[in-house]
Amino acid sequence: DGSELAEIDNYVRANHKEPSSDMFGIAKNKNIILISMESTQSFVINNTVNGEEVTPFLNDFIKESYYFDNFYHQTGQGKTSDSEFVVENSLYPLSRGAVFFTHSGNKFNATPKILSEKGYYTASLHANNKSFWNRDIMYKTLGYKRFYSLPDYEVNEENSVGWGMKDVDFFQQSVEHLKEMPKPFYAKFITLTNHFPFDLDEEDRYIEPYTSNDKTVNNYFPTVRYTDEALKLFIQKLKDEGLYDDSVIILYGDHYGISENHNRAMSEYLGTEVTPFVSAQLQRVPLIVHIPGQKGGTISTVSGQIDLKPTILHLLGIETKNDLEFGTDLFAKDRPDFAVLRDGSFITKNHVYTRETCYDKITGEPDEGSACQQFMEKSKNELEYSDKIIYGDLLRFYGRPDGTGKEITGKTN
Ligand code: GP9
Ligand code: MN
If one residue of 85, 99, 150, 254 were mutated to test the ligand 1 pocket, choosing by the most ligand atoms within 8 A of its CB, it would be 254
Q: Enter the DSSP assignment of 160.
A: E
The average pLDDT across 121-147 equals 98
pLDDT of residue 401 exceeding 50, the answer is: no
Q: Are 75 and 306 in contact (CB under 8 A)?
A: no
d(CA 208, CA 57) in angstroms, rounded, equals 17
pLDDT at 406 over 70: no
Predicted confidence (pLDDT) per residue in 167-186, tens digit:
999 999 999 999 999 999 99
pLDDT value at 46 more than 70: yes
Any ligand 1 atom below 6 A from CB of 132: yes
| 413: confidence class by pLDDT, cuts 50, 70, 90 | very low
pLDDT at 411 over 50: no
Q: Is the pLDDT of residue 408 over 80?
A: no
CA of 325 to the centre of ligand 1 (A): 25
* Percent of residues, the chain, with pLDDT higher than 90: 95
CB of 351 shorter than 6 A to ligand 1:
no
**What digits encode the pLDDT tens for the residues 352-386?**
999 999 999 999 999 999 999 999 999 999 999 99
Whether the ω angle into residue 184 lies within 30 degrees of 0, i.e. cis, is: yes
Asked whether the ipTM of the predicted complex exceeds the cut of 0.95, the reply is: yes
Instruction: Please state, in angstroms and rounded to a whole number, the distance separating the CA atoms of residues 57 and 294.
Output: 19
Is residue 57 predicted with pLDDT exceeding 70?
Answer: yes
- Given 55, 80, 320, 328, the catalytic residue: 80
Taking the CA of residue 78 as reference, the ligand 1 atom at the shortest distance is 10
> Cβ neighbours of residue 99 under 8 Å, at least 6 residues apart?
78, 81, 82, 85, 93, 390
d(CA 4, CA 2): 5
Please name the residues in contact with 339: beta carbons below 8 A apart, sequence gap of 6 or more. 70, 71, 72, 74, 302, 303, 304, 306, 346, 347
Residue numbers in the known binding site for Mn(2+) are 38, 80, 254-255
Euclidean distance between CA atoms 330 and 220, whole angstroms:
29
Lowest model confidence (mean pLDDT) among 33-42, 129-138, 175-184, 399-408: 399-408
In this prediction, residues 13-31 reach a mean pLDDT of 97
308, 344, 253, 77: CA torsion to nearest 10: -110
Question: Could you report the per-residue pLDDT of 266-314, keeping only the tens digit for each?
Answer: 999 999 999 999 999 999 999 999 999 999 999 999 999 999 999 999 9
pLDDT of 39 over the 50 cut: yes
Closest CA to 225 of 281, 265, 168: 168
Phi, psi of 338 (to 5 degrees): -165, 135
Give how far Cα 25 sits from Cα of 22, 28, 110, 187, 324, Å. Answer: 8, 5, 19, 19, 21
CA distance 196 to 338: 29
197-244 pLDDT, tens digit per residue, is 999 999 999 999 999 999 999 999 999 999 999 999 999 999 999 999
For ligand 1, is residue 149 a contact (CB within 6 Å)? no
Annotated catalytic residue 216: no
Distance (Å) of CA 31 to CA 130, 184, 203, 220, 291: 24, 5, 34, 32, 10
State the pLDDT at residue 239.
98
Q: Judge if the beta carbon of residue 195 lies within 6 A of ligand 1.
A: yes
SS3 108: coil
**With a 6 A CB cut-off, is 190 part of the ligand 1 pocket?**
yes
Atom in ligand 1 nearest the alpha carbon of residue 82: 10
Q: Hey, which of 128, 155, 196 would you mutate to test ligand 1's pocket, going by the most ligand atoms within 8 Å of its Cβ?
A: 128
Query: What average pLDDT does the structure give for the chain?
Result: 96
Specify binding-site residues for substrate: 195
